[in-house]
Amino acid sequence: MVKLAVFDCDGTLIDSQVNILRAMASTFDRHGLAPPPEHATRRIVGLSLVEAMQALLPDAEPALHASLAQDYKHAFQRLRADKTLDPEPLYDGIADTLDHLRDNGWLLGVATGKSDRGLALALAHHGIADHFITLQTADRHPSKPHPSMLWTALADAGATSGDAVIIGDTVFDMAMGANAGVRAIGVDWGYHDAAELIDAGAVGVALDSAHLRRLIDG
Q: Are residues 204 and 101 in the same domain?
A: yes
Report the mean per-residue pLDDT for the chain: 97
Residue 133: other Cβ atoms inside 10 A: 15
Q: What is the largest CA-CA distance in the chain?
A: 54
**Domain encompassing residue 58:** 17-81
Percent with pLDDT over 90 in the chain: 95
Same domain, 104 and 147: yes
37 & 116 share domain: no
Q: Are residues 201 and 94 in the same domain?
A: yes
Asked if 164 and 154 touch (Cβ cutoff 8 Å), the reply is yes
Please report which confidence band the pLDDT of residue 218 belongs to, taking 50, 70 and 90 as the band edges: confident
Q: What is the pLDDT of residues 28-80, one digit of tens each?
A: 999 999 999 999 999 999 999 999 999 999 999 999 999 999 999 999 999 98
**Count of domains observed in the chain:** 2
60 and 142 within one domain: no
Q: What is the pLDDT of residue 86?
A: 87
Domain boundary among 81, 105, 123: 81
| Whether residue 30 sits in one domain with residue 75 | yes
For residues 27 and 118, state if they share a domain: no
133 and 210 assigned to the same domain: yes
* Rounded CA separation 116/112 (Å): 9
